[in-house]
């Protein structure tokens, strides 16, 4: 129950392929995601807490729906149709993930969805009033979680507004395919199917210009051990990758993550235009996680599918503007499979390789 007396519901979706998803209506937070390893043993692969109070006490967006706009808006303001909108500077000097009480801290309504294939599905709905956190327009949002028979965690979003407004949601789970209490994700192998990214400044604000990953240390077009790359990333954080253009409404492949030890493989597909990689560089939780462990730096990795984050950048924000009379729809799928032990990917990376960090504070 929330301090104001509202009831928070917990829902469980059990798939036929062995995947189990647990979510709560506070923030639409995915509190557990169980996926089988190569031996058939189910393990929880997302970071989080066992109790509601820990989520209410503050956390780095574990498993939440983030919005109205995921990411950072420079100067905590934007101008649209001649009007300037001032937003909360909750990541000074910028605005982050929808503000002080973004969608991650709102109570959503939940209802089960009947699908023809019988896959368990849950629709979360929320009405965001005009002026909430400084944004214009009354916005009606629905986010549907489905656990498919093929062990996919499918996220479908749709939204309408009575005024033009920026809207860009993302799902913010911290994944650890070895298990949420297993420590660092350094030995995970990551592949991102993008050849361009958008650099950021010292405040992690996107610059708006596209650059080739081939000239930087952030190229994941071939699988790389995460621990070998973190030290080459800006502030050890991760970058915003521009995904290739897609055909029609089909989802495109965005990323692939593998834990060689468990054999778990997660493939990410999306209709969104960008993938934000975050390595958990700022994790330093004071509250113990689900298994009684405190999550340290790089205990989880985020692969956030989203639109262009900085609504103040008029040249690039068109893909996130929601206009009256339009319905914004997007879909992202996190598909789980296993790689048999005798087919494990070859990893010649030295296990003793250390992770080096650049100076500076990284926030997510």
CB–CB of 185/298 below 8 Å? yes
Range of the domain at 334: 10-343
Of the spans 69-78, 207-216, 340-349, which averages the highest pLDDT?
69-78
CATH of the domain at 226: 2.70.98.10
SS3 of residue 335 by DSSP:
strand
Render pLDDT for 37-47 as a digit per residue (tens, 0 to 9).
Answer: 999 999 999 99
Q: Domain tally for the chain?
A: 1
Asked, for residue 358, whether it belongs to a domain, the answer is: no
Asked, for residue 175, whether it belongs to a domain, the answer is: yes
Query: Among residues 193, 171, 196, 167, which one has the least CA distance to residue 331?
Result: 171
Asked, for residue 85, whether it belongs to a domain, the answer is: yes
pTM: 0.92
CB–CB of 13/147 below 8 Å? yes
For residue 81, what are the CA distances in angstroms to 78, 159, 208, 322?
A: 10, 21, 20, 13
Residues labelled as active-site residues: 172, 304
Render pLDDT for 287-336 as a digit per residue (tens, 0 to 9).
Answer: 899 999 999 999 999 999 999 999 999 999 999 999 999 999 999 999 99
Asked, for residue 3, whether it belongs to a domain, the answer is: no
Asked, for residue 356, whether it belongs to a domain, the answer is: no
């Amino acid at each position: 129950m929330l301090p104001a007396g509202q009831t928070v519901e917990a829902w469980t979706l059990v798939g036929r392929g062995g995947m189990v998803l647990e979510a709560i209506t506070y923030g639409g937070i995915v509190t557990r995601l169980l996926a089988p390893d190569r031996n058939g043993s189910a393990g929880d692969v997302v970071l989080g807490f066992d109790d509601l109070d820990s989520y209410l006490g503050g956390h780095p967006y574990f498993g939440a729906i983030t919005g109205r706009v995921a990411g950072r808006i420079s100067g905590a303001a934007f101008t649209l149709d001649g009007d300037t909108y001032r937003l909360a500077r909750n990541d000074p000097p910028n605005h982050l993930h929808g503000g002080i009480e973004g969608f991650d801290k709102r109570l959503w309504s939940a209802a089960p969805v009947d699908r023809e294939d019988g896959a368990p599905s849950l629709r979360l709905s929320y009405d965001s009033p005009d002026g909430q956190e400084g944004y214009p327009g009354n916005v009606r949002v629905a986010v549907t979680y489905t656990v498919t028979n093929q062990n996919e965690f499918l996220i479908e979003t749709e939204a309408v507004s009575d005024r033009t407004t920026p809207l860009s949601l993302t799902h913010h789970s911290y994944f650890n395919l070895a298990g949420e209490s297993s420590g660092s994700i350094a030995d995970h192998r990551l592949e991102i199917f993008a050849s361009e990214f958008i650099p950021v400044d010292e405040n992690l604000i996107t610059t708006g210009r596209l650059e080739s990953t081939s000239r930087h240390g952030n190229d994941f077009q071939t699988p790389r051990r995460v621990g070998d790359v973190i030290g080459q990333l800006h502030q050890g954080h991760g970058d915003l990758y521009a995904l290739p253009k897609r055909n029609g409404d089909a989802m495109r492949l965005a990323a692939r993550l593998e834990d060689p030890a468990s054999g778990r493989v997660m493939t990410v597909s999306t209709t969104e235009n960008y993938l934000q990689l975050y390595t958990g560089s700022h994790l330093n939780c004071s509250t113990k996680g689900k298994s009684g462990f405190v999550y340290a730096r790089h205990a989880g990795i985020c692969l956030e599918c989203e639109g262009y984050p900085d609504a103040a950048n008029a040249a690039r924000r068109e893909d996130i503007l929601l206009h009256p009379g339009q319905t914004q729809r997007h879909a992202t799928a996190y598909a789980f499979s296993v790689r048999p032990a005798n087919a494990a990917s070859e990893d010649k990376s030295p296990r003793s390789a250390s992770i080096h960090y650049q100076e500076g504070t990284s926030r997510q």
